[in-house]
Amino acid sequence: MLRVAHIAKSFGPVTALRDVSLHLKKGEVLGLLGDNGAGKSTLIKTICGFQKQDSGEMWLKGEPYEPRSVAHARSLGVDVVYQDLALIDELSVYQNMFLCREQRVTGLPFLDRRKMKKETREALDEIGIHLPRLDVPVARLSGGQRQSIAVARGVYSEADILLLDEPLAAMGAKEGAMILDLIARLKAEGKLSMIMILHNYVHVLESCDRVNMIVDGVITFDKPSAETSLAELTELVVDEYRRARSAAQAEEAAEAAQAAASPPE
Amino acid sequence: MSSTAASEPPASAPAGGPAQQRSAPRNAAVPALDLIKRFLTAREGSIVVVTVVLTLYFAFSLPASSNFVTVANFQNLLPYFAPYAILAAGEVFLMINAEIDLSVGGVYLFTPLMFYEFWNGGIPLLPSVILAIGVACVIGLVNGFIVAVLNVNSFIATLGTLFTASGLTLIVSHAEQLTTPGATVTSNTSGNHITTFASVFGAGIYSELIWALVIVIALQVALTRTRWGLHTVAIGSNRIAAAEAGVKVRWVLIRNFVVCAACAGLVGILESVRTDSISPDPGSATQLLLFAIAAAVIGGTLLAGGSGTVVGAMIGALFLGVLQDGLAIKGVNADYLDFYLGLAILLAMAANVYVGRVRRRSGVG
């Protein structure tokens, strides 16, 4: 479905992605793990067309995939739910749901508010989110409600591939369970393929078919969820933490040695 | 605690419901109060009330002989209202973007001069007007490019184009006043005549008012009912999120700068036709620019971006017109005008902050 090969991306002196390759099968849910700053969000933003990679290639459904913009990626069937929610506070629930996919009255430049409200209501009902009013600015909603709208927006965008950057951030346990239920249901339908960034390993093992871990801009681990365990994932992270710490200590020692070798003038 | 809880609606009341719950009709007067509250907390509500109060104040405090509440006086007031309403309408779009356009003062001066130059070069009147407004649009395009593509702060970028356009006007015109083409009044035995061109473009008594109403309505509809307006609000509210969702931020910004400049160019031409003169006076242009921004602010558009209303700005402009006209009839020293205007802006700001808080509390959309 989607294949990413040797993607690299730097922001000035900071290298976010060094050499990332991954693949996603049709109907599969891929869990992406990794530390803060490991490059997960950069990878998502590259796949969804928000930014362009420095090098490397992507293929979508067997064709070379070079998204020029978020809108272009969306037209090719790749949509995204961002970590920072990407909701517009001043706009209402339904306006956010349809941002950049606005429905217009046939033949006129005017927005079809009734249709957008109706479809928003249906979409939210299906997920099980109950908001009394859809024309209030989303600034007035709770973090969980906002996140549900963001997820609902992605799910109902008619995408083939949905990228979810921490879909459970800012959510209570109950709302989180609702979103996981929705993801399970979508998985069962088998139409949508998803890449999901998650922090909770229990959620990963429960919701994803396969797990990838990204460390320092490289994918270092790739196993089906069924073949790994909470213990293994935890061990990986602990290892990584130890390695990072000893590396930092080594660097510090090297700097100290250097400072000692070259006395101040 | 328990006694108050008993009289409150059940805790399961949906979010956003408290306002409706509280205003449930306990007696007949409450729905009316709710309506009033809704009106006052609408973005345009407070400025409507203030303008009406100001008008009533002048109507009753001035002696009947002063003819404040007459058609003739309304006509007197129009030049102090319509130009600001049009300028503010364009400015509102940029202020919702959390940007500002100071160059409207320069565009206001430069466009009528270009109109004159095109006409002087042998082009007929109407095409000259269209070309001149095209020049205004180009200035808007330059503003938009500097702000949206080069990422320069709009205050600074348009400050630059303000002086550039004003300066060009002075250079080209040699700082001399010109007679507006096509606006000359011809007299014959049956009275004074102005051409159709002149009466459409500002010299007709209601010409500027009609332009203002048409532009305000068109831009208000664009703001609230079209994708362009929606994206304008989205950019002002959260530019990064808007871009991530796929809003073409640069394109919308550039478009808004062009619209704002076109409004300013049109006002320049309307005013030059109305006064029958093209006067390269940067001082008056700066005054006009600041009044237009004042009208937008008084009308409920915040500089912070994300919210604003074209209709509110028009009522803000009407407020300015009534204030100027009323004070003039009252015989108040003109020096007081700026003082009152300043107070009005401060009060409008305070009212906006307060109303915003009430709106958030009561869940009025």
Query: B122 — contact with chain A (CB < 8 Å)?
Result: no
With CA atoms as reference, the chain B residue closest to A87 would be B241
Rounded (5°) CA angle B14-B20-B21: 70
With CA atoms as reference, the chain B residue closest to A114 would be B225
Segment 81-140 of chain A within 8 Å of chain B by CB: 82, 84-92, 95, 99-100, 102, 104, 109-111, 130-133, 135-137, 139-140
Range ranked top by mean pLDDT from A26-30, A174-178, B170-174, B346-350: B170-174
Q: Tell how strand A210-215 and strand A29-34 pair up.
A: parallel
The better pLDDT of the pair A139, B191 is held by: A139
CA distance B359 to chain A (A): 10
d(CA B339, CA A196): 59
Does pLDDT of B240 surpass 60? yes
Does the beta-carbon distance from A133 to B240 stay under 8 Å?
Answer: no
What is the side-by-side strand order in the sheet with A29-34?
A63-64, A55-60, A2-11, A14-24, A218-224, A210-215, A29-34, A193-197, A161-165, A78-81
Q: In the structure encoding, which two tokens stand for residue A119, read together? A: 């479809």
Which residues of B fall within a CB distance of 8 Å from A135? Answer: 365
For A36-53, what is the mean pLDDT? Answer: 87
Note the pLDDT of residue B140: 97
Return the SS3 of A11: strand
Entry pTM:
0.81
Nearest by CB to B246, from A69, A87, A140: name it: A69
Q: What is the pLDDT of residues B65-84, one digit of tens each?
A: 777 888 888 888 888 899 99
Does pLDDT of B329 surpass 80? yes
Note the pLDDT of residue B21: 41
Note the pLDDT of residue B2: 41
The better pLDDT of the pair B43, A62 is held by: A62
Query: B230 — contact with chain A (CB < 8 Å)?
Result: yes
Per the CB < 8 A criterion, the answer to whether A225 and A211 are in contact is yes
Range ranked top by mean pLDDT from A211-225, B16-30, B111-125, B300-314: B111-125
Does pLDDT of A103 surpass 90? no
For A225-253, what is the mean pLDDT? Answer: 84
DSSP letter for B13, please.
P
Which residues of A fall within a CB distance of 8 Å from B241? Answer: 82, 84-88
Does the beta-carbon distance from A104 to B363 stay under 8 Å?
Answer: no
Note the pLDDT of residue B40: 64
d(CA B75, CA A211): 74
Query: A174 — contact with chain B (CB < 8 Å)?
Result: no
DSSP letter for A82, please.
-
For A28-45, what is the mean pLDDT? Answer: 86
Q: What is the number of residues in chain B? A: 365
With CA atoms as reference, the chain A residue closest to B226 would be A110
Reported as a pLDDT band with limits 50, 70 and 90, residue A65 is: very high
| B336-344: long-range contacts, CB 8 A cutoff, minimum separation 24 | B341/B291, B341/B294, B344/B50, B344/B294, B344/B298, B344/B319
Rounded (5°) CA angle A42-A48-A51: 55
Q: In the structure encoding, which two tokens stand for residue A93, read together? A: 């629930």
**Tally of CB atoms within 10 A around A97:** 26
Cα–Cα nearest to B111, from B85, B131, B127: B131
Nearest by CB to A132, from B16, B226, B236: name it: B16
Does the beta-carbon distance from A99 to B365 stay under 8 Å?
Answer: no
Cα–Cα nearest to A67, from A85, A45, A90: A45
Q: In the structure encoding, which two tokens stand for residue A134, read together? A: 């859809």
Q: Is A3 exposed, middle or buried (0-12, 13-18, 19+ CB in 10 A)?
A: middle
Reported as a pLDDT band with limits 50, 70 and 90, residue B26 is: very low
Q: Is B95 exposed, middle or buried (0-12, 13-18, 19+ CB in 10 A)?
A: buried
Does pLDDT of A82 surpass 90? no
For A155-184, what is the mean pLDDT? Answer: 81
Segment 37-96 of chain B within 8 Å of chain A by CB: none
Note the pLDDT of residue B136: 97
For B169-184, what is the mean pLDDT? Answer: 89
Give helix B29-41 / helix B45-61 axis angle, nearest 10°: 100
Instruction: Give strand ranges (E) for B195-290.
Output: 277-278
Which among B38, B43, B221, B227 is the top mutation candidate for probing chain A, defined by the most A β-carbons within 10 Å of its own β-carbon?
Answer: B227
Note the pLDDT of residue A263: 61
Among A110-124, B17-31, B267-281, the least confident range = B17-31
Among A166-175, B5-14, B32-41, the least confident range = B5-14
Nearest by CB to B241, from A88, A104, A136: name it: A88
Does the beta-carbon distance from A90 to B307 stay under 8 Å?
Answer: yes
What ipTM score was computed for the predicted complex, to two decimals? 0.74
What is the secondary structure of B307-349 as a DSSP string? Answer: ---HHHHHHHHHHHHHHHHHHHHHT--THHHHHHHHHHHHHHH
CB pairs under 8 A between A and B: 92
